[in-house]
Structure 1
C-alpha cells in the first residue's frame, strides 16, 4: 500500500470532518483518564474508591449498550454521536468544576460518572459502526489506521501532559479541557452527511431488533468466542492495570512516572498504527489475539518489579500488540457484517466485552488489600495468557481471512 492510498480517506469530506472530531475529543480524553484517577486518590487515598468511581461509569454504559445499538441502526449515527458528545460535555464539565473548586467528594464523582456512563452507552455503538458509511470498503484499513493514529498519537502526549497538569495546577484543569473537547467534537460533526439508508419494511420494534442482533451474534462463532474471551480479559485489565496500577505507581515509581508508562504504551500503539497504514493485515483475529497477549508482561512486572525502565519497555510492546488486535477486530467486524446489523453487533460485542469490567474495578482493590498487590498481579498475568490461548483454540478465530476489497458505492449518497 502506497502513502497516497494510505492517506486517501482524508480526501473524503465526510471522513475528514469525522476525523477532526475524533482528534479533538481524543486529546481531552487522554488527559482526563489520568486526571480523574488522581483526583479520586487526592480525595481519599483508596484504590477501592477509585474502582467505585470507574465502575459508576462502566455499569450504566454496559446497561445502555444494547439500546444504543438499536438507536444507531435506526437513526443517523452522527446525530446520535452529537447528542452523546453534548451530554458528555455537561457531565465532565460538572466534574471539573467540583474538582477545581475543591468541593468534590467521592459520591459526587460517582453520580456524575453514572451520567457520563449512560450517554457513553448510547453513543458507543454509533461511534464504532459509523466508519463504513464514510469511506469505500477498499479504504477501511487506512481509515481505521488514521483514526487509530489520532487516538494513539494523543495517547502518547495525553497521559504525560495530564500527569504534568496534576502535579502542577491540579487534576481539575485536565478534566475541564476534556469537557471542552466533547463540545467541540459535537460541532465538528455538523457538516458530516451519511449515506441514505434503505427504508425498513417494518415499523421500529426495539425488542424484535434486539432479538435479531442476538440471533446474528450467536450464529457467528468467531464473534461470540472473542467477545466471551474479552469479557474476562477486560475484567483482568481494568482491575490489575487501570485500578491497581495508579495505586502501585503512587507508592513506587511516582505519579509522573506512571504518566510515562501510559505514554510508552501509547507510543507502541502509535508506531504499530503507522506500520498498519502500509501493511495489509491478513488473518486479523489470529494476529490480533497473539498481539493482545503482550498485555500480560507489564502486569507481571507491576507486581514483581515495578521499575520505570521495565514498565516503560513492557508497556510499549503491549501497546503494539493491542493495536494489532484493535485493527484486526475492526476489520473483521466491518468487512463481515452488513451495515444494517453492524451497530447491534458492536453493541453485543461491547456488552460481552465490558460486562465484567465493573467486577475487576470493584474487586481488585479489596483483593489487593486481602492478599497483597504482588500475588494478585502475578496471578492476573498468568490468567490473561491462559484466556488468550483458550480463544485461539477456535478455528473460526484462527482462520478468519480478510474479505475482498470491493467498493461500497453507497457511501457517495448523502442525506441531510
Structure 2
C-alpha cells in the first residue's frame, strides 16, 4: 500500500468514527433532554440548532481555510469537538435541570456543530490529493458506503446501547469515538500549496467559493440541480414520512422505522454496486447524473401514489441506487474542477446551499402536506426533479465533458 492510499484509509476511517459519534451523541442528547423535560419542543431544538449552525459554518469556513492548512484545520476542529464533547459528558453528570444548564447544553451543541461545518470542507477537499484521478469514483463510493453504513448502524445501535447503558455512559462512548477519530486524522499528510500574492479581505475570502462555483458552467449546473433536488428530499424527513405511513399506506409506527431502515440499506448496497462498477462510470458521470435524476423523479411518483406498504418498502430501498450513483458522480465532477483550498471553499459554499435549501424545504413541504395532502407533496417534488433533469439535459455537453484534474482552467465561463 503506498503512502497516499494509507493516508486515504486514515481519512475515511476517522470520518466514519466521527460520523458515528455525531449521530450517537445527538441520540443521547435528545433522549436526555426529553427525560429531563418531557418537552417535544426542547427535543426539536437540538437538531434545529445543529442544522442552523452547519448553515452558518458554510459562511465562516473560508476564513479558516485561508488562514490554516487543511490538515491542521481538520485536526484542530476535531480536537476542539472532542474537548467540547467532554464538557457535555461532564454537564450530563452534573444534571440538566436549570435554565443555565439548558443554555449551556444548546451552546455546546452550536459550537460543536460549527466546528463540524468548518472542518468538513477541508476533509472533503483532501480526497483528490490522496488518490489517483482515475480512482476518484471508487474513492467517493467507498466513502459513501462508510457513511451510509455508519448511519444505518448508529440509530438501532444507539437505541440498544441507550437501553443497556443509559445516556451518560453513551455520551462517554461517543467521546472515545471522537478521540479515536482525532488520532486517526493526525496521521494524514497532504501536500499543501501556499497562497501567494496580496492578502485578500475577509469578505473576498468568504465569497470566493461562490465565485468559483458560478465561474464554472459545470458547477453552476450541478449546484442549481442540487438546490432543486435537495428541496425535493425534504419529503423524506421524519415528520412527512410519518404522516405518509399513517395516511397513505395505513400502517403504524413500526413501518415508519422499516421504511427508514430500508432507505439506508438501499444506499449502502448501492454504494457497493457503484464501487464495483466505478471504472465503467468514470467516462459517463454526466449521463449517470441525468439518468439518476429521472429515476428519482419516477420513484417519487411511485412512492407517493402507492397504497401498498410492501411496494413503499421496495421503492424506499431502490431509491438508494440512483441517489448513490448521482451523489458519487456529482462529488467526482466537483473534485475534478478545483483543488486544494479552492476546492475546500467550493464545498463550504455548496454545503451552505444544501443545508439552507433543506431547512426551507422542511417548512414549506410540511405546510404543503398539511394543506394539500401527503400524496400531492410527492407529486410536487417529482416536478422539481423533472426541472432538474431538464437543466441537466440542456447542459449535457458540459456535464459529459471528460475533464480530469490536470486542466483545471477548462470549462470556465
Q: How high is the TM-score relative to the length of structure 1?
A: 0.78
Of 86, 91, 112 in structure 2, the residue corresponding to residue 116 of structure 1 is 112
Paired position in structure 2 for 1:185: 181
Structure 1 residues 290, 397: closer, same or farther in 2, change over 3 A? farther
Alpha-carbon distance in structure 1 between the residues aligned to 2:36 and 2:311:
30
Alpha-carbon distance in structure 1 between the residues aligned to 2:396 and 2:334:
15
Query: Is 1:380 aligned to 2:388, yes or no?
Result: no
Output aligned runs, 1:130-169, within 5 Å.
130-169=126-165
Q: State whether residues 335 and 405 of structure 2, in contact with CA within 8 Å, keep that contact through their aligned partners in structure 1.
A: no
Alpha-carbon distance in structure 2 between the residues aligned to 1:249 and 1:172:
33
Query: Is 1:352 aligned to 2:358, yes or no?
Result: no
Of 67, 79, 89 in structure 1, the residue corresponding to residue 60 of structure 2 is 67
Query: Is 1:274 aligned to 2:275, yes or no?
Result: no
Alpha-carbon distance in structure 1 between the residues aligned to 2:173 and 2:298:
32
Alpha-carbon distance in structure 1 between the residues aligned to 2:189 and 2:109:
31
Structure 1 residues 11, 228: closer, same or farther in 2, change over 3 A? closer
Q: CA deviation at 1:78?
A: 1.9
Paired position in structure 2 for 1:207: 203
Of 4, 9, 16 in structure 2, the residue corresponding to residue 16 of structure 1 is 9
Q: CA deviation at 1:107?
A: 5.4
> Which ranges in structure 1 are unaligned for 5 or more consecutive residues?
1-7, 409-416
Q: How high is the TM-score relative to the length of structure 2?
A: 0.79
Paired position in structure 1 for 2:411: none
Paired position in structure 2 for 1:296: 300
> Which ranges in structure 2 are unaligned for 5 or more consecutive residues?
408-413
Q: CA deviation at 1:360?
A: 4.5
Q: CA deviation at 1:203?
A: 2.4
- 1:175-208 CA-to-partner distances (Å, cap 9, x unmatched) read 4433322222111111211114154123243322
Tell me the SS of whatever aligns to 1:336: coil
Structure 1 residues 42, 229: closer, same or farther in 2, change over 3 A? farther
Alpha-carbon distance in structure 1 between the residues aligned to 2:242 and 2:21:
19
Alpha-carbon distance in structure 2 between the residues aligned to 1:319 and 1:58:
23
Paired position in structure 2 for 1:403: 402
Q: CA deviation at 1:266?
A: 2.1
- 1:365-388 CA-to-partner distances (Å, cap 9, x unmatched) read 7x49x938xx55334322221211
Of 256, 262, 265 in structure 2, the residue corresponding to residue 264 of structure 1 is 262
- 1:119-144 CA-to-partner distances (Å, cap 9, x unmatched) read 12211211221111112211111111
Structure 1 residues 186, 380: closer, same or farther in 2, change over 3 A? farther
Q: CA deviation at 1:330?
A: 0.6
Paired position in structure 1 for 2:123: 127
Q: State whether residues 137 and 329 of structure 2, in contact with CA within 8 Å, keep that contact through their aligned partners in structure 1.
A: no
Tell me the SS of whatever aligns to 1:201: coil
- 1:29-55 CA-to-partner distances (Å, cap 9, x unmatched) read 344455555555555666655443222
Alpha-carbon distance in structure 1 between the residues aligned to 2:142 and 2:61:
25
Q: State whether residues 240 and 380 of structure 1, in contact with CA within 8 Å, keep that contact through their aligned partners in structure 2.
A: no
Q: CA deviation at 1:25?
A: 1.8
Structure 1 residues 404, 334: closer, same or farther in 2, change over 3 A? same
Aligned pair count reads 393
Query: Is 1:194 aligned to 2:194, yes or no?
Result: no
Q: CA deviation at 1:407?
A: 7.6
Structure 1 residues 122, 196: closer, same or farther in 2, change over 3 A? closer
Alpha-carbon distance in structure 2 between the residues aligned to 1:362 and 1:93:
33
Alpha-carbon distance in structure 2 between the residues aligned to 1:40 and 1:21:
28
Tell me the SS of whatever aligns to 1:128: helix
- 1:288-326 CA-to-partner distances (Å, cap 9, x unmatched) read 43455477369748xx8695x555433322222321121
Question: 279-288 or 264-273, which moves further after superposition?
Answer: 279-288
Output aligned runs, 1:70-89, within 5 Å.
70-72=63-65, 74-89=67-82
